[in-house]
């Protein structure tokens, strides 16, 4: 976790204080459930709640105990017994450390997922607003970085909206993947703990009981979670890359907002660099990479080994904090993006009408030319334009073979921008439900 790429709400989820609070809640709920089942005294459960709820867990004290016993949950329980007193011996009855650790991790991940979903919602809102603002702003569509045919800037943003809308759905599914609770004992047989304890704690922590845990919650769930984050990061990279391209000196159709006082370069004062989206590109690489160790974590040995733990101590915070930051940063970029419709128009005009070539091709075909002939006719008039030698419409008009099939008026009608944008409403209705 790098502070400059972190936001407080997400970071707080991963603080030791939050962790110990969740551990306490799991242990205390389990004690209550055990009391209800008559396994431990009701009084004990009450004492645990009373003393524990008021207590501030002393992270340094717990760390000190852990250095001695080399076991984090035992260290916490020892500290808890310092707070609760003798009744603490009824805590953790029949449970194993992983019952606490894994349920806690899942609580943290679901909370992280909630923030990430809210982040995507904010991004979607920004995208929608800007998409409608530029629904009819014409811009060139590019394939291979080469001008193709016109579209609108709103359509570009609508595509991003649709993509992040899918990401939202995926995040909701990913959240469901890891929203489980396991209180099943040393190898998951409930030998020393009634399954009803698990059901109780699950309900209280707003999780579902894990059908079969084997000391651990199975890690295919977490693999799917982090893989989903990796896909969301890849979509961030796509939109960030689009902005980076648009801000290129030669394109300059949009720019990241550049605040007063900001310095683009220590050496070249005129520069306005797309540093936020470049930064997002890098952050996306990180979030993406984390999915590999998460997947390698799945094949734990037998009922469990602890190799997943060091991985999750890293990627749990790192992936969620980084993605949260990236989504928020991207939302800011989109929200404040400076758009230059006039430059879009300038770029549209750059190719001397070549962007209408397909339409000419189709018209020739419809007038009876074979596909091959039409292609040849269009290409021979397109090439000089491409080399900067003339205007496409003029050349076509001057080509007798073309004119044999299309009148000057017919040719002119083919060079109409509106023709390309007539279905923008359809696209918007599909994406936003309304145009």
Q: Give, as ranges, the residues between 354 and 413 that touch a second copy (CB under 8 A).
A: 354-355, 357-359, 361-362, 365, 370-372, 375, 378-379, 382-383, 385-386, 392
Q: Distance (Å, rounded) from C-alpha 406 to C-alpha 314?
A: 66
Buried b (16+ CB within 10 A) or exposed e, 345-383: bebbeebbbbbbbebbbebbeeeebeeeebeebbeebbe
Is residue 117 classed as helix, strand or coil in its secondary structure? Answer: helix
Paired sense of beta strands 208-209 and 180-181, if any: parallel
Q: Distance (Å, rounded) from C-alpha 380 to C-alpha 143?
A: 21
Enter the tokens of residue 333.
């970029």
CB of 203 to a second copy, least distance (A): 15
Query: Considering only residues 62-91, where is the footprint of a second copy by CB under 8 A?
Result: 68-71, 73-74, 77-78, 81, 86, 88-89
CA dihedral for 317, 28, 39, 82, sign (positive or negative): positive
CB of 150 to a second copy, least distance (A): 7
CB of 61 to a second copy, least distance (A): 16
At CA 196, angle to CA 193 and CA 200, rounded to 5? 115
Query: Considering only residues 163-182, where is the footprint of a second copy by CB under 8 A?
Result: 163, 166-167, 170, 173, 177
Segment near a second copy (CB under 8 A), from 30-38, 51-59, 110-118, 255-263?
255-263
CB of 366 to a second copy, least distance (A): 8
Enter the tokens of residue 64.
């000190």
Under the criterion CB under 8 A, does residue 249 sit at the interface with a second copy?
A: yes
Q: Of residues 109, 120, 351, 411, which one binds a second copy by CB under 8 A?
A: 351
The continuous run of DSSP H or E covering 180 comes out as: strand 180-181
Total residues contacting a second copy by CB under 8 A comes to 167
Q: Of residues 244, 320, 331, 396, which one binds a second copy by CB under 8 A?
A: 244
Q: Of residues 32, 106, 297, 320, which one binds a second copy by CB under 8 A?
A: 297
Cα dist. 63→1, 73, 102, 355 in Å? 20, 11, 19, 67
Q: How many CB atoms lie within 10 A of CB 263?
A: 9
Would you call 18 exposed, middle or buried from its count of C-beta atoms within 10 A (0-12, 13-18, 19+)? middle
Query: Considering only residues 183-242, where is the footprint of a second copy by CB under 8 A?
Result: 185-192, 195, 209, 211-212, 214-215, 218, 220-221, 223-224, 227-228, 230-231, 233-235, 237-238, 240-242
CA dihedral for 46, 50, 53, 55, sign (positive or negative): negative
Paired sense of beta strands 254-255 and 338-339, if any: antiparallel
Query: Which residue numbers are catalytic?
Result: 144, 265
Nearer to a second copy, 95 or 126 (CB): 95
Q: Of residues 50, 64, 85, 313, which one binds a second copy by CB under 8 A?
A: 313
CB of 180 to a second copy, least distance (A): 11
Contact map string, positions 2 to 21, toward a second copy, x by CB under 8 A = x-xx----------------
Query: Considering only residues 81-140, where is the footprint of a second copy by CB under 8 A?
Result: 81, 86, 88-89, 92-97, 140
Nearest to 157 by CA among 188, 136, 175, 177: 136
Beta bridge partners, 140, equal: 150
Q: Of residues 263, 400, 409, 434, which one binds a second copy by CB under 8 A?
A: 263
CB of 403 to a second copy, least distance (A): 18
Segment near a second copy (CB under 8 A), from 45-53, 280-288, 395-403, 405-413?
280-288
CB of 253 to a second copy, least distance (A): 10
Task: Note the residue count of the chain.
Answer: 435
Segment near a second copy (CB under 8 A), from 42-50, 103-111, 286-294, 397-405?
286-294
Q: Of residues 64, 306, 338, 404, which one binds a second copy by CB under 8 A?
A: 306
Distance, CA of 175 to chain centre: 13
Nearer to a second copy, 129 or 166 (CB): 166
Beta bridge partners, 255, equal: 338
Q: Of residues 103, 281, 320, 331, which one binds a second copy by CB under 8 A?
A: 281
Q: Which residue has the tokens 């979509």?
A: 235
CB of 147 to a second copy, least distance (A): 4
Nearer to a second copy, 175 or 304 (CB): 304
* Packing angle, helices 153-178 and 97-133, rounded to 10: 170
């Amino acid at each position: 976790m790098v502070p400059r790429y972190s936001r407080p709400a997400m970071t707080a989820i991963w603080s030791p204080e939050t962790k110990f609070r969740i551990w306490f809640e799991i242990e205390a709920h389990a004690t209550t459930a055990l009391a209800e089942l008559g396994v431990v005294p009701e009084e004990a459960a009450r004492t645990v709640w009373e003393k524990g709820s008021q207590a501030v867990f002393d992270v340094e004290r717990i760390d000190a105990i852990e250095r001695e016993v080399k076991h984090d949950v035992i260290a916490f329980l020892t500290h808890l017994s310092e707070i609760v007193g003798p009744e603490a011996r009824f805590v953790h009855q029949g449970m194993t450390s992983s019952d606490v650790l894994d349920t806690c991790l899942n609580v943290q991940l679901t909370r992280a997922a909630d923030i990430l979903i809210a982040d995507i919602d904010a991004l979607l809102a920004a995208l929608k607003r800007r998409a409608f603002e530029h629904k009819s702003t014409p811009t060139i569509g590019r394939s291979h970085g080469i001008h193709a045919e016109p579209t609108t800037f709103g359509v570009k943003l609508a595509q991003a909206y649709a993509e992040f809308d899918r990401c939202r759905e995926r995040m909701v599914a990913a959240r469901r993947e890891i929203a489980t609770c396991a209180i099943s004992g040393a190898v998951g047989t409930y030998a020393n703990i009634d399954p009803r304890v698990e059901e109780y704690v699950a309900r209280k922590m707003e999780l579902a009981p894990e059908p079969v845990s084997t000391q651990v919650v199975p890690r295919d769930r977490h693999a799917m979670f982090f893989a989903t984050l990796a896909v969301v990061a890849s979509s961030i990279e796509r939109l960030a890359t689009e902005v980076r391209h648009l801000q290129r000196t030669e394109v300059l159709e949009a720019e990241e907002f550049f605040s007063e006082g900001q310095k683009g370069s220590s050496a070249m004062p005129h520069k306005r660099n797309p540093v936020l989206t470049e930064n997002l590109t890098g952050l996306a690489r990180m979030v993406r990479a984390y999915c590999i160790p998460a997947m390698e974590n799945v094949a734990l040995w037998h009922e469990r080994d602890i190799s997943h733990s060091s991985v999750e101590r890293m990627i749990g915070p790192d992936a969620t904090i980084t993605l949260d930051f990236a989504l928020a940063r991207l939302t800011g970029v989109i929200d404040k993006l400076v758009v230059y419709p006039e430059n879009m128009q300038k770029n549209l005009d750059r190719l001397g009408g070549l962007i209408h070539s397909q339409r000419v091709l189709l018209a020739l075909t419809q007038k009876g030319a074979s596909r091959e002939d039409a292609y040849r006719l269009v290409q021979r008039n397109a090439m000089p334009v491409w080399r900067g030698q003339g205007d496409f419409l003029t050349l076509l008009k001057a080509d007798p073979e073309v004119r044999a099939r299309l009148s000057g008026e017919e040719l002119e009608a083919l060079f109409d921008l509106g023709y390309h944008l007539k279905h923008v409403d359809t696209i918007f209705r599909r994406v936003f439900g309304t145009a």
